[in-house]
Structure 1
Amino acid sequence: MGFSAVARVTTDKWLACAVHDEINFGLVPGGELKLETTICNEIRQHHEAVAIDHVAEDENFVNHHTPLMYGFQSYISMPIILKDGTFFGTLCAIDPKPAKVNNPTTVGMFKMFADLIAFHLDALEQLSISNKNLQIEKETSELREQFIAILGHDLRNPLNAVANSAQLLARINLEDRTQKLVKIIKDSSFRMNGLIENMLDFASGRLGGGIAIARTPDEDLEHVLFQVVEEIQAISPDRKITMNFDMLHPVSADGKRIAQLFSNLLGNALNYSPPGAVIDITAISNTEEFTLCVANPGKQISESTIERLFQPFSRGEVEPNQKGLGLGLYISSEIAKAHGGSLAVSSTAEQTCFTLSLPVIK
Structure 2
Amino acid sequence: MPQLLEVVCRTTKMGFAAIARVTDHRWVTCATHDLISFGLKPGDELDVETTICHEVHQGREAVVINNVAKDAGYCDHHTPKMYGFQSYISVPLYRKNGEFFGTLCAIDPKPKEIDTPEIATMFRLYAELISFHLDAVEKIKISEDSLKEEKKIARLRDQFIAILGHDLKNPIATMRMSADILLKMSKEDFTLRNAALIKSTSYRMQALIENILDFARGQMGEGIILEKERHNKSLEEMIKQVIKEIRVISPERKITFNSKLEHEVNCDKNRIGQLLSNLLGNAHEHGSSETQIKVEAKTNSDYFELRVVNSGEKIPDEDLTHLFQPFYSESGSSNKKGLGLGLFIASEIAKAHQGELKVTSSDRETAFVLQIPRE
- Do both proteins adopt the same fold according to a TM-score greater than 0.5, normalized to the shorter chain? yes
Give me the CA root mean square deviation. Answer: 4.2
How many residue pairs match? The answer is 351
Contact 1:9 1:41 (8 Å CA) reproduced: no
Alignment partner of 1:257 out of 264, 271, 285:
271
1:291 to 2:305 alignment? yes
Q: Which residue of 2 aligns with 1:151?
A: 164
In structure 2, what is the equivalent of residue 68 of structure 1?
Answer: 77
- Is residue 228 of structure 2 the alignment partner of residue 219 of structure 1? no
2:254 pairs with 202, 226, 240, which one?
240
Report the Cα distance in structure 1 between the residues aligned to 2:22 and 2:198, rounded to whole angstroms. 73
Q: Give, as a single letter, the amino acid of the residue that structure 1 aligns with 2:314.
A: Q
1:44-85 deviation per Cα after TM superposition (whole angstroms, max 9, x unaligned): 765x64433246766xxx347x96343465321123344565
C-alpha offsets along residues 7-43 of structure 1, whole Å, 9 cap, x if unaligned? 2123x234131565959899992222239x7465446
Deviates more, 1:339-348 or 1:223-232: 223-232
Letter in 1 for 2:47: E
Q: 2:44 aligns with which of 3, 8, 29?
A: 29
Corresponding residue of 1:280: 294
Q: Which residue identity lines up with residue 111 of structure 2 in the other structure? A: P
Cα deviation for residue 121 of structure 1 reads: 4.4
Instruction: Give SS of 1:34's match.
Output: helix
Aligned mates of 2:143, 2:374 — CA distance in 1: 48
Sort the Cα spacing of 1:305 and 1:249 in 2 relative to 1 into closer, same or farther, 3 A: same
1:228 and 2:242 equivalent?
Answer: yes
AA of the residue aligned to 2:354: G
Letter aligned with residue 104 of structure 2: L
TM-score by length of 2: 0.74
2:348 maps to which residue?
334
Structure 1: distance between partners of 2:365 and 2:197: 30
Q: Secondary structure at the match of 2:301?
A: coil
State the distance in 2 between where 1:208 and 1:142 align: 11
Matched, 1:79 2:88: no
- What does residue 29 of structure 2 align with? 17
The one-letter amino acid of 2:19's match is: V
Unmatched tracts of structure 1, length 5 or more: none
* Amino acid paired to 1:79: P
Q: Alpha-carbon deviation of 1:336? A: 1.2
Letter in 2 for 1:273: G
- Mark the CA change 1:63 to 1:284 in structure 2 (over 3 Å): closer, same or farther: same
Alpha-carbon distance in 1 for matches of 2:199, 2:98: 67
Deviates more, 1:119-128 or 1:238-247: 119-128
Name the residue aligned to 1:308.
322
Distance change in 2, residues 1:212/1:186 (3 Å) = farther
Distance change >3 Å, CA 223–CA 118, structure 1 → 2: same
Quick one: distance in 2 between partners of 1:276 and 1:196?
Answer: 29
User: Residues 68-217 of structure 1 correspond to what in structure 2 (within 5 A)?
Assistant: 68-71=77-80, 74-82=87-95, 86-94=99-107, 98-104=111-117, 106-107=119-120, 110=123, 114=127, 117-118=130-131, 121-122=134-135, 125-126=138-139, 128-129=141-142, 132-133=145-146, 135-137=148-150, 139-165=152-178, 173=185, 196-205=209-218, 208=221, 210-217=223-230
Contact 1:245 1:284 in 2 (8 A): yes
Distance 1:302 1:209 in 2: 33
- After TM superposition, list the pairs within 5 Å mapping 1:48-63 onto structure 2: 49-54=62-67, 62-63=72-73
Which runs of 5 or more structure 2 residues have no equivalent in the other structure? 1-13
